[in-house]
């Protein structure tokens, strides 16, 4: 009974915090932990300090890249790829937004690309819903495949502390599963999107809309583009510094011997990521004309700090409950998860929808899964399930896609659940989980 009440308290905090948005999700965890400790007399767990510090380092570097203008270099290159192949925008655009997220560690890069994707689609007679919805979904899917995303560094930090006897899954092994499984998922979304919905010339609602000259002018509008914009040398330098730091982290993760050893053990990848991300941000400031004071005002920094607070509150609250009730939870769930491991993926997907954050979902679920004996291989195989907030069209990138699509083809249906994003999301995440499981099996992880 006590465990049930404590779980209901967690769910109430998650639900109310997610509805309020912003830092509310993490702060509601503060109410939860106070009630757990002072009312339910649950011993307080340990906040995920390593995870939070890694998030701070990665976000600081990414925000510095954005403030320096280096992000514009990547966006301009992405637009060139799309405009050279406009007929294939429904397949190329999802890959472009996914790759941008993988490089930058945040799905917020999609906002700048959405109006460009719309312009390319509508000017070439392609139903905008096809690339718009797919691009929004794939931008978020790229998070679990990014070596510098909050979700991946959080997952790597938790896996590094897996119980004794469990197989050790390093940073590179983790990415060797999540990157190909994500890309296959993106491909399936692109193939589906190529054929979805009516062509514009056969869509009665669209034709009725543009029959009004004013509406037609609004729908087709003026072109939105970054082409022709002059980029400074400092912007290119900032981009290359950031990409080089990611490459060094990947190499150090792949070749353990390159990392210094202390007490007979190589430097952990968690600390390695923290060091090189902080250094990348510092080098960008030193060698470019980046306004250091503006970094903290950037969108990437704001979103990243919200993630830190969310992970702090959610993970601390959940860790306290599950630590205090570990024997009961093990007795009730261990056999189920071991015999039907897909139930872990379903639970992760549902929690992700509650918290609207992949990092927060991982912080809430992975420590619990490891503590009740879920093999780390299954956790990696089903990592893509941490993205479930496409189920309801409430996430900012989805809402932005709807707003940027002036044709009205990207939409929310009458019954809320029948919106433009749910089928691509289910296809992408479902495919990624299946491929992740096959890859983990082939590697002997499950």
pTM, 2 dp: 0.77
338 Cβ contact list (under 8 Å, min separation 6): 373, 374
Cβ of 225: how many Cβ atoms within 10 Å? 14
Q: Using a pLDDT cut of 70, give the percent of the chain over it.
A: 96
Express each pLDDT in 304-334 by its tens digit. 788 788 778 877 887 788 777 767 766 666 6
Whole-number pLDDT of residue 330: 64
Contact, 433 vs 385, CB < 8 A?
yes
Cβ of 355: how many Cβ atoms within 10 Å? 26
DSSP H helices in 85-170: 89-104, 110-123, 129-141, 150-159
Rounded Cα distance between 26 and 113, Å, is 29
Q: Which has the higher per-residue pLDDT, 43 or 418?
A: 43
Q: What is the length of the chain? A: 446
DSSP 3-state of 334 = helix
Express each pLDDT in 214-233 by its tens digit. 999 999 987 778 787 888 99
405 Cβ contact list (under 8 Å, min separation 6): 118, 128, 129, 132, 411
Run of H or E residues at 262: strand 261-262
For the residues 73-99, what does the mean pLDDT come to?
92
Residue whose C-alpha is closest to residue 278's, from 56, 104, 106: 56
Per-domain residue ranges for the chain?
2-442
Rounded Cα distance between 98 and 78, Å, is 11
- Residue 102 pLDDT > 80: yes
């Amino acid at each position: 009974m006590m465990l049930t009440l404590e779980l209901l308290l967690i769910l109430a905090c998650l639900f109310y915090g997610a509805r309020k948005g912003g830092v509310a999700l993490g702060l509601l965890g503060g109410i939860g932990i106070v009630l757990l400790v002072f009312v339910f007399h649950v011993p307080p767990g340990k906040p995920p300090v390593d995870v939070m510090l890694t998030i701070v380092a990665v976000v600081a570097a990414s925000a510095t890249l954005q403030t320096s203008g280096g992000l514009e270099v990547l966006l301009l290159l992405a637009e060139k790829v799309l405009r050279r192949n406009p007929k294939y925008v429904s397949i190329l655009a999802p890959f472009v937004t996914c790759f941008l997220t993988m490089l930058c560690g945040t799905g917020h890069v999609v906002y700048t690309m959405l109006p460009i994707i719309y312009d390319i689609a509508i000017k070439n007679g392609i139903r905008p819903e096809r690339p718009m919805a797919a691009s929004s979904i794939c931008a978020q899917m790229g998070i679990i495949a990014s070596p510098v995303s909050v979700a991946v560094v959080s997952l790597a930090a938790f896996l590094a502390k897996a119980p004794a006897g469990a197989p050790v899954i390093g940073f590179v092994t983790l990415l060797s599963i999540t990157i190909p499984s994500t890309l296959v998922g993106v491909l399936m979304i692109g193939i589906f999107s190529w054929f979805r919905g009516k062509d514009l010339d056969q869509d009665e609602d669209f034709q009725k809309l543009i029959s009004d000259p004013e509406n037609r002018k609004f729908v087709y509008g003026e072109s939105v583009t970054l082409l022709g914009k002059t980029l400074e040398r400092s912007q290119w330098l900032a981009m290359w510094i950031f990409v080089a730091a990611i490459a060094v982290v990947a190499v150090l993760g792949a070749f353990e011997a390159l990392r210094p050893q202390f007490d007979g053990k190589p430097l952990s990848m968690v600390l390695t990521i923290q060091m090189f991300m902080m250094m990348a941000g510092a080098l960008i400031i030193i060698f470019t004309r980046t306004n250091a004071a503006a970094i903290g005002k950037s969108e990437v920094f704001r979103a990243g700090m919200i993630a830190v607070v969310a992970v702090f509150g959610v993970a601390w609250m959940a860790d306290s409950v599950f630590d205090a009730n570990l024997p009961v939870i093990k007795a009730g769930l261990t056999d189920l998860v071991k015999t039907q491991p897909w139930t872990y993926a379903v639970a992760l997907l549902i929690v992700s929808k509650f918290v609207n954050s992949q990092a927060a979902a991982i912080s809430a679920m992975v420590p619990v899964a490891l503590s009740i004996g879920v093999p780390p291989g299954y956790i990696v195989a089903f990592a893509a399930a941490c993205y479930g907030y496409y189920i309801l069209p409430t996430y900012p990138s989805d809402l932005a896609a709807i707003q940027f699509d002036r044709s009205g083809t990207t939409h929310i249906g009458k019954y809320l659940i029948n919106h433009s994003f749910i089928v691509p999301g289910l296809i992408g995440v479902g495919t990624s989980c299946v491929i992740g499981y096959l890859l983990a099996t082939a590697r002997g992880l499950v």
